[in-house]
Structure 1
Amino acid sequence: MTSHVTYWPDTAIKQYSTGRSNVLGLSDSGLVWEWKNETAVLIAPLNVDLKEKTVFEVQAGIDLVPGGRQESLQTGLRVTVDTVTIPGTSFRQHDQATYAKDSLEAYIGEVKQFIVLESHIVFTTHHGRVFSYTTTYPLPEFSRPNPVELTTLYNASTKSNAQAFEPRSLVGSFRNFGIVTSTANVLTATDSYLNVFHEQAALPSVEQRLSQPDVLPSLQSGDVVSVSFGDYHMHALHSDGTISSLGTESQRCGALGLGDSTVSGCRGVQIAGWHRSGSLNIPQDPRDKRTVWFEPLMESWIGTLVSNTRSRLGGTATLDLAYAPQDSEQLSTWFEREGRKWMRRPVSQGRLSDRKSRPTTLRKTTTSTDEQDDEDDLPAYFALKVASAGWHSAALVLVDDDKAQAIRDRYIEPRPPATSSTVGSGIWNLGRRFLGLTVRDENEQSQTRYIWENEELPRTLTS
Structure 2
Amino acid sequence: MSILDLPVDILLLIFPHLDATSFLHLTSTCKALHSADFLNDAAFWSTLVRTTFRVPNQPTAQHDGKRWQKLYKRLLTQSRIYTWGDNDKACLGHSYDASGSMARLGPPRARRVNALRRRHISWPAEMDSTEDLGVISDVQCGGWSTTMLTAKGTLYTVGVLDGLQFDQRRPPFMQTPARQPTALKYPPGFVQLHERNDASTAIQQFSTGRAHVLGLADSGRIWSWQNIELAALHVMFLNHDTKEDGTTAGRGTVHKVVAGWNKSAALIEGTGIVLWDPLQRGHDDAAIEDAVLVLESAAVPNTGYRRLKGKARYTDSTGPDIADTVGQVGNFILLEHVLLFSTDTGKVFAAQIFWDDHEQRVGDLVKIPISESETGAFATDVQGSFRSFAIFTRDGTVLTSNQDRLMDLLRDHQAPDNLFTRIPALQHHGVISVAFGDYHFHALHSSGHITSYGNEPQACGALGLGGHGDPEGRLRGIRYQGMGRDGRLVPHAYTEGRRVWFEEEKRDWIKFLTAGGVDAEEASQRMRMALGTPDVRCQGEVSEWIEQQGRDWEAKFGLQGEEDDELGAYFALSVTAAGWHSGALVLVNEELAAKVQAACEVRESSGATTAESEDDAQDAPAEDANSSLVAYAVSTALDYGRWFLGLAPYNVAAPAPHSAPHNNTAGAGSTRVGEQIHVPRNYGDSPREGYKYVWAKDSFPRLRLSSGEEMPGEVGFDEWRFARPEFDLDAGSPEPYVVSRCRETTRFCNLPFDRRSWLFANMATKRIAPAKSNRVRMNYETKAGDPFVTDE
Query: TM-score normalised by the shorter chain: which range applies?
Result: 0.7 to 0.9
Q: Which residue of 2 aligns with 1:154?
A: 371
Quote how far apart the aligned CAs of 1:245 are. 1.1
Identity, in percent, stands at 31
Quote how far apart the aligned CAs of 1:97 are. 7.9
Quote how far apart the aligned CAs of 1:23 are. 0.1
Q: Which secondary structure state, in structure 2, belongs to the residue aligned with residue 308 of structure 1?
A: coil
Quote how far apart the aligned CAs of 1:382 are. 2.4
Quote how far apart the aligned CAs of 1:4 are. 6.7
Match of 1:237 among 423, 438, 444: 444
- Evaluate the alpha carbon distance shift between residue 216 and residue 451 of structure 1 in structure 2; reply closer, same or farther with a 3 A threshold: same
1:216 equivalent in alignment to 2:423? yes
Amino acid at match of 2:661: R
Distance 1:428 1:231 in 2: 46
Report if aligned partners of 1:167, 1:181 keep a CA contact under 8 Å in 2: yes
- Evaluate the alpha carbon distance shift between residue 384 and residue 143 of structure 1 in structure 2; reply closer, same or farther with a 3 A threshold: closer
Deviations 1:47-76 (A, max 9, x none): 33446833321100113459x984978794
Report if aligned partners of 2:263, 2:278 keep a CA contact under 8 Å in 1: no
Match of 1:185 among 387, 397, 416: 397
Q: Which residue of 2 aligns with 1:32?
A: 222
Match of 1:385 among 574, 581, 585: 574
Match of 2:498 among 286, 290, 301: 290
Greater mean alpha carbon deviation, residues 221-230 or residues 90-99: 90-99
1:452 equivalent in alignment to 2:452? no
Q: Which secondary structure state, in structure 2, belongs to the residue aligned with residue 188 of structure 1?
A: strand
Q: Which residue of 2 aligns with 1:397?
A: 586
Distance 1:135 1:451 in 2: 58
Normalising by the residue count of structure 2, what TM-score does the alignment of the two structures yield? 0.47
Quote how far apart the aligned CAs of 1:26 are. 2.2
Report if aligned partners of 2:355, 2:361 keep a CA contact under 8 Å in 1: no
- For 1:248-287, list aligned pairs within 5 A: 248-261=455-468, 262-272=471-481, 275-283=484-492, 286=495
Q: Give the gaps of 5 or more residues in structure 1.
A: 157-161, 202-206, 347-355, 360-370, 430-438
Amino acid at match of 1:199: R
1:410 equivalent in alignment to 2:594? no
Q: Which residue of 2 aligns with 1:124?
A: 342
Distance 1:137 1:458 in 2: 56
Quote how far apart the aligned CAs of 1:291 are. 1.1
- For 1:44-123, list aligned pairs within 5 A: 44-50=236-242, 53-65=252-264, 70=277, 76=287, 77=289, 78-79=291-292, 80=294, 82-94=296-308, 95=312, 98=315, 107-123=325-341
1:344 equivalent in alignment to 2:555? yes
- Evaluate the alpha carbon distance shift between residue 276 and residue 447 of structure 1 in structure 2; reply closer, same or farther with a 3 A threshold: closer
- Evaluate the alpha carbon distance shift between residue 150 and residue 163 of structure 1 in structure 2; reply closer, same or farther with a 3 A threshold: closer
Deviations 1:241-278 (A, max 9, x none): 22111112222221211113332211111124654322
Amino acid at match of 1:110: Q
Amino acid at match of 1:13: I
- Evaluate the alpha carbon distance shift between residue 46 and residue 247 of structure 1 in structure 2; reply closer, same or farther with a 3 A threshold: farther
Report if aligned partners of 1:19, 1:61 keep a CA contact under 8 Å in 2: yes
Deviations 1:188-238 (A, max 9, x none): 11112211111213xxxxx77454311110111342232222222222222
- The total of aligned residue pairs comes to 418
Quote how far apart the aligned CAs of 1:387 are. 2.2
Report if aligned partners of 1:133, 1:147 keep a CA contact under 8 Å in 2: yes
Quote how far apart the aligned CAs of 1:122 are. 0.5
Report if aligned partners of 1:270, 1:324 keep a CA contact under 8 Å in 2: no
Q: Which secondary structure state, in structure 1, belongs to the residue aligned with residue 257 of structure 2?
A: coil
Greater mean alpha carbon deviation, residues 415-424 or residues 244-253: 415-424
Q: Which residue of 1 aligns with 2:85?
A: none
Distance 2:332 2:688 in 1: 59
Quote how far apart the aligned CAs of 1:290 are. 0.8
Q: Which residue of 2 aligns with 1:352?
A: none
Q: Give the gaps of 5 or more residues in structure 2.
A: 1-189, 244-250, 266-274, 619-659, 664-685, 703-709, 714-792
Match of 2:211 among 2, 21, 28: 21
Amino acid at match of 1:449: K
Q: Which residue of 2 aligns with 1:440?
A: 661
Report if aligned partners of 1:249, 1:278 keep a CA contact under 8 Å in 2: yes
Match of 1:175 among 387, 392, 403: 387
Distance 1:385 1:143 in 2: 33
Normalising by the residue count of structure 1, what TM-score does the alignment of the two structures yield? 0.76
Report if aligned partners of 2:298, 2:361 keep a CA contact under 8 Å in 1: no
- Evaluate the alpha carbon distance shift between residue 4 and residue 322 of structure 1 in structure 2; reply closer, same or farther with a 3 A threshold: farther
Q: Which residue of 2 aligns with 1:194?
A: 406
Deviations 1:425-445 (A, max 9, x none): 34987xxxxxxxxx9379799
Q: Which secondary structure state, in structure 2, belongs to the residue aligned with residue 425 of structure 1?
A: helix
Report if aligned partners of 1:308, 1:454 keep a CA contact under 8 Å in 2: no
Distance 1:461 1:81 in 2: 68
- Evaluate the alpha carbon distance shift between residue 244 and residue 462 of structure 1 in structure 2; reply closer, same or farther with a 3 A threshold: farther
Quote how far apart the aligned CAs of 1:169 are. 2.6
Amino acid at match of 2:455: T
Q: CA RMSD in A?
A: 4.1
